Amino acid sequence: MSPISKPVFFFFLFFFLNYASLSSSLSLHLPLTSLPLNSPSSHFTTSLLSRRNPSPSSPPYNFRSKFKYSMALIISLPIGTPPQTQQMVLDTGSQLSWIQCHRKKKLPPPTTSFDPSLSTSFSDLPCSHPLCKPRIPDFTLPTSCDSNRLCHYSYFYADGTFAEGNLVKEKITFSITESTPPLILGCATESSDDRGILGMNRGRLSFVSQAKISKFSYCIPPRSNRPGFTPTGSFYLGENPNSHGFKYVSLLTFPESQRMPNLDPLAYTVPMIGIRIGGKKLNISGSVFRPDAGGSGQTMVDSGSEFTHLVDAAYHKVREEIVKLVGPRLKKDYVYGGTADMCFVGNPIAIQRLIGDLVFEFTRGVEILVSKERVLVNVGGGVHCLGIGRSSMLGAASNIIGNVHQQNLWVEFDVTNRRVGFAKADCTRLP
């Protein structure tokens, strides 16, 4: 997985949706981490505070862990019985959750791999399972029957990364008395990364749907350029005690009959209406941020992408304004991550002052404001980029609000009420 690109699956057709009922029975608090997907493993310290025998009306139990942030949001979850802690990328743009899964006979396994032989709640999905047959609604992974008559899957990403293994059922076990029911997961025996994925979109096989999570939220701290230091953020499943200050926009949802080839109907699609740079509203039609007849142009909130990406009609307007403001300072013939060419060499503070604040506008007066002090992203080698790339260079037809522009915000996904909430926060100072 490339540093800034959101995985774009080759099998990117989402037809015949079958949304699950998303009533909540879990409420959890997990501080989250963000790390480069290819960074070395870090030491994680966790604590578990839980009530015995909770009922739906009982107060929520809490799971807490300390993590770090730089590119991707990495959470740590206890999988299996007894639990084995697994590091997973929190991804609101993916459906299938999968873990690194290596049996003892495969040596040497990744340091964070899950050993199925140690879990009493683990089971494989046989080839006879409906998910191992083609054309299953809203599940677009290619599956096949392996030599052991188990359901084998392969996940291929547009940037060349991959994961493959078997589909399985396993619990997330929070304490001796509390766990999710068995969830369908991918058990990757071959992959190009050493962490798994926690799929959090609206599909029926996502963690959100299978665990019946009504809402979840996170607060991403700003990236730090201080050597040896990476900041910590927080992640909640269920009620967030800070939600009284959230401002919400309604999700755009799409019926089963509205089948559009370029639309991801399982994404968290929000009604963006405009962009401001340095106080100036750019001349971009609001229709650019909504799906057209073919599904192109939807705007999604995606924790699994680092940079924000815009369709060409919006990207060119943003770049045109940046050229007016700081054109002579642009780094010529430089494209970061294959998608972002608004990059600079020089004093970033002076360049940020010339650019000013960046604002993403939504309906109901809701905004994501990126202050000028954070408008550039340090990508290394003395280069700083605006943090916006071209969606077309990803092979995507959507606008994607990446995690770099969700920093110092509470972002809540209220799945039951089909809305997303935002609130300013100092994510480095949360308890």
Strand 308-310, strand 46-49: pairing: unpaired
pLDDT higher than 90, residue 352: yes
DSSP designation for 364: G
| pLDDT interval class at 40 (50, 70, 90) | very low
pLDDT in tens, 104-150: 544 454 557 899 999 999 999 998 888 887 555 455 667 788 878 89
How far, in Å, CA of 146 to CA of 108, rounded? 23
Matching CATH topology for 63-213 and 241-255+263-424?
yes
- What fold does the segment set 241-255+263-424 form as a domain? Cathepsin D, subunit A; domain 1 (2.40.70)
Burial 277-288 (b: 16+ CB within 10 A, else e): bbeeeeebeeeb
Long-range pairs for 364-372 at CB < 8 Å and ≥24 separation? 364/247, 364/248, 364/249, 365/247, 366/247, 366/248, 366/249, 366/422, 367/422, 368/401, 368/405, 368/406, 368/409, 368/422, 369/424, 370/405, 372/278
Please tell me the predicted confidence (pLDDT) of residue 148.
84
Task: Residue 294: name the closest of 322, 318, 249, 262 by CA.
Answer: 262
Phi, psi of 168, rounded to the nearest 5 degrees: -140, 175
Q: Does domain 63-213 have CATH number 2.40.70.10?
A: yes
Task: Residue 67: name the closest of 224, 220, 182, 231 by CA.
Answer: 231
pLDDT higher than 60, residue 81: yes
Cis peptide before 54 (omega within 30 of 0): no
Question: Which residues are catalytic, by number?
Answer: 91, 302
pLDDT in tens, 219-255: 999 987 777 777 888 988 888 888 999 999 999 998 7
How far, in Å, CA of 213 to CA of 206, rounded? 10
Task: Residue 219: name the closest of 380, 73, 42, 61 by CA.
Answer: 73
Lowest-pLDDT range, 1-10, 232-241, 389-398?
1-10
How far, in Å, CA of 411 to CA of 240, rounded? 10
Mean pLDDT of the chain: 81
How far, in Å, CA of 222 to CA of 69, rounded? 8
Q: What is the CA radius of gyration of the chain?
A: 21
pLDDT higher than 60, residue 90: yes
Q: List residues bridging with 216 in a β-sheet.
A: 237, 413
Please tell me the predicted confidence (pLDDT) of residue 13.
32
CA 150 to centroid of chain Cα atoms: 29
| pLDDT interval class at 91 (50, 70, 90) | very high
Residue whose token pair is 């981490």: 33
Please tell me the predicted confidence (pLDDT) of residue 72.
85
Phi, psi of 220, rounded to the nearest 5 degrees: -100, 125
What does the domain layout of the chain look like in residue ranges?
A: 63-213, 241-255+263-424
What DSSP assignment string belongs to 57-119?
TSPPPEEEE----SSEEEEEEEETTTTEEEEEEEETT----EEEB--TTSSSPPTT-B-GGG-
Lookup: tokens for 77: 């979850």
**What percentage of residues in the chain have a pLDDT greater than 70?**
77
